[in-house]
């Protein structure tokens, strides 16, 4: 379980995050909705260990993470862009984390092959990243992250650069995989529909303050999220 | 007619090389003759002398060392700068050696090289060239470490890579085309350098460019042409070896 207690972060005189606290049990996805520049990326980077917090505490399974470097946190950060390693083919991109952990070759091969089947990318295993479509790249990036069984996935608008159809396919894919593998994830987005679809828990980040909601209904009803306005708009079209 | 500008351009580039080739084999070719009256191999026979091999070896060692050291240091420094909050401020220092022409810069540094007893020595010329080429490499790689590469590095850390693995498994392989391109450019800068080598080398570090100039001063056109042909050789070989990757866009 991921637990965050009173995280604060400022850049110069600008306070980006103020007393952020949240809990994320295993197998849940916390969808964090927020406008651009509200501090979503900063929050994820602090959890990943890519930025230090000014104050507050990050715990994973009751173990304090603040002093650990990113490579020892087992929290994988996924960007909007797939950022596949251009010198490695699909197979080697997925195997990257296992090779770092010196996984025995037989086990590594079996796990990569099984994941390629799950991702529907067996035919692309030997292709280089430049030869893949946007959706395929994101699936490889996703596979590269989940093969190391991270404690938590940190998803920074991961489908934001995809066209609407591919985005919808990737959302379906994520939902199925998260359920099947019991993934824990913090999924930040500025897209209302995506937040509702991807989350099993919801939060709204505005001007550095995080509001968490006990239920989906509470999230929808809060006027700050703008969901009711959106529903009204579509009713009146 | 449409090919005319293209042919003119090829001729413009090819003409000096054709001239060197002809002059290197020409016998008694003097103004105002447009074409040599005869041919000889006697200029090339001088290649058997120890001085040529020494000059070629010196130039090659200097270019390889300057290229290798400046590329490695520049890559490492630019990576550090890309992580810094005040990167632009630090980067200004890299432009400093280019405020003067290399020869004036070399004259300015000559006092320090004399004091350190490096003037007229191979390490002195190497250091002099590094003072110019290292900032060039820093500027070259600073734009290479863009947001995309920085994010790829950060992602690698979260996948479990330590700093060493990030360098060996991600940054260096991903940057291979840029590293080769930078090395190639610095190799050429060093290989063709005359001003700095002659000022700091005091004419005692006799690289090929220094030798060419000395032959020209002695009005020995044949030997100067042979030296010039030798000067062109390694860059042409490098171009041939690297043509595949030079034609490719350097991207990550």
Count CB-CB contacts under 10 A for residue A141.
22
Stretch B54-81: mean pLDDT, rounded? 94
A101 to chain B nearest CA, in Å? 8
**N- to C-terminal Cα separation, chain A:** 43
Average confidence score pLDDT of chain A: 91
**CA-to-CA dists, residue B65 to A194, B130, B200, angstroms:** 55, 9, 17
Indicate if the pLDDT at residue B222 is higher than 90: no
What pLDDT score does B48 carry? 65
**Using a CB-CB distance cutoff of 8 angstroms, which residues of chain A are in contact with residue B171?**
none
pLDDT of B30-61, one tens digit each?
878 888 888 888 877 776 666 777 888 899 99
What pLDDT score does A85 carry? 96
Closest CA to A155 of A193, A116, A198: A198
Stretch A54-68: mean pLDDT, rounded? 92
| Domains recognised in chain A with CATH numbers | 2-81+151-236 (3.40.50.300)
Closest CA to A75 of A24, A38, A119: A24
Q: Is A226 helix (H, G, I), strand (E, B) or coil?
A: coil
pLDDT bracket for residue B15 (50, 70, 90): confident
A229 to chain B nearest CA, in Å? 36
pLDDT of A32-59, one tens digit each?
998 888 888 999 999 999 999 999 999 9
**In whole angstroms, what is the distance from residue A169 CA to residue B84 CA?**
39
Among A77-86, A214-223, B220-229, B240-249, whose mean pLDDT is lowest?
A: B240-249
| Residue indicated by tokens 């529909």 | A193
**In whole angstroms, what is the distance from residue A33 CA to residue A189 CA?**
5
What pLDDT score does B244 carry? 63
Indicate if the pLDDT at residue B252 is higher than 50: no
| Domains recognised in chain B with CATH numbers | 49-247 (1.10.3720.10)
**Using a CB-CB distance cutoff of 8 angstroms, which residues of chain A are in contact with residue B251?**
86
Contacts of A93 (CB under 8 A, 6+ apart): A84, A85, A129, A140, A141, A143, A144
**In whole angstroms, what is the distance from residue A133 CA to residue B66 CA?**
42
| Residue indicated by tokens 């007393």 | A19
Q: Is A7 helix (H, G, I), strand (E, B) or coil?
A: strand
Of B158, B165, B252, the CB nearest to A86: B252
CB contact under 8 A, A145 and B159: yes
* Residue A170 · residue A139 · CB < 8 Å: yes
Among A18-27, A83-92, A169-178, whose mean pLDDT is lowest?
A: A169-178
What pLDDT score does A207 carry? 86
Could you report the predicted ipTM of this complex, rounded to two decimals? 0.91
Indicate if the pLDDT at residue B245 is higher than 70: no
Contacts of B184 (CB under 8 A, 6+ apart): B67, B238, B242, B246
Stretch B56-83: mean pLDDT, rounded? 94
Residues in B whose CB is inside 8 Å of some CB of A read 148, 151-152, 154-155, 157-162, 165, 169-170, 173-174, 176, 251-252
**In whole angstroms, what is the distance from residue A42 CA to residue A51 CA?**
7
Q: Chain B interface, mutation test: which of A46, A77, A82, A185, most B Cβ atoms within 10 Å?
A: A77
Backbone angles phi, psi at B85, to 5 degrees: -70, -30
């Amino acid at each position: 379980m991921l637990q965050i207690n009173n995280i604060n972060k400022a850049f110069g005189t600008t306070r980006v995050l103020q007393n952020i606290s949240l809990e994320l049990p295993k197998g849940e996805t916390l969808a964090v909705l927020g406008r651009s520049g509200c501090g979503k990326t900063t929050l994820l980077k602090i959890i990943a260990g890519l930025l230090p917090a000014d104050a507050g505490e990050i715990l994973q399974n009751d173990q304090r993470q603040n002093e650990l470097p990113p490579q020892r946190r087992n929290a994988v950060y996924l960007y909007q862009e797939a950022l596949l390693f251009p010198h490695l083919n699909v197979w080697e991109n997925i195997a990257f984390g296992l090779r770092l952990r010196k996984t025995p070759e037989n086990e590594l091969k079996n796990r990569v092959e099984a994941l390629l089947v799950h991702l529907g990318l067996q035919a692309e295993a030997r292709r280089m990243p430049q030869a893949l479509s946007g959706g395929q790249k994101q699936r490889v990036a996703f596979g590269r992250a989940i093969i190391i069984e991270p404690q938590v996935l940190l998803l920074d608008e991961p489908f934001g650069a995809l066209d609407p159809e591919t985005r919808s396919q990737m959302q379906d894919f994520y939902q199925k995989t998260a359920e099947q593998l019991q993934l824990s994830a913090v999924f930040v987005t500025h897209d209302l529909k995506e937040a509702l679809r991807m989350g099993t828990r919801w939060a709204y980040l505005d001007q550095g303050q995080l509001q968490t909601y006990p239920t989906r209904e509470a999230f929808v009803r809060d006027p700050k999220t703008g969901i009711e306005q959106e529903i009204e708009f579509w009713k009146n079209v | 007619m449409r090919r005319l500008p293209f042919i003119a351009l090829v001729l413009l580039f090819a003409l000096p090389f054709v001239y060197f080739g002809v002059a290197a084999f020409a016998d008694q070719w003097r103004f105002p003759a447009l074409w040599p009256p005869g041919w000889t191999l006697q200029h090339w026979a001088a290649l058997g002398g120890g001085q040529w091999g020494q000059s070629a070896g010196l130039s090659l060692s200097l270019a390889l060392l300057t290229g290798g050291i400046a590329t490695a240091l520049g890559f490492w420094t630019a990576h550090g700068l890309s992580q810094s909050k005040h990167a632009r401020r630090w980067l200004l220092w890299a432009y400093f050696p280019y405020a003067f022409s290399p020869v004036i810069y070399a004259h300015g540094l000559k006092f320090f090289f004399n004091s350190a007893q490096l003037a007229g020595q191979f390490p002195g010329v190497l250091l002099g060239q590094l003072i110019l080429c290292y900032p060039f490499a820093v500027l070259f790689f600073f734009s290479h470490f863009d947001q995309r590469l920085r994010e790829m590095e950060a992602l690698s850390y979260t996948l479990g890579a330590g700093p060493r693995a990030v360098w060996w498994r991600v940054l260096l392989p991903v940057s291979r085309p840029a590293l080769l391109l930078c090395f190639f450019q610095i190799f050429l800068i060093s290989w063709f350098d005359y001003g700095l080598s002659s000022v700091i080398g005091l004419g005692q570090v006799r690289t090929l460019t220094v030798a060419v100039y000395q032959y020209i001063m002695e009005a020995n056109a044949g030997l100067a042409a042979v030296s010039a042909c030798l000067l062109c050789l390694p860059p042409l070989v490098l171009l041939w070896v690297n043509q595949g990757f030079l034609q490719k866009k350097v991207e990550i």
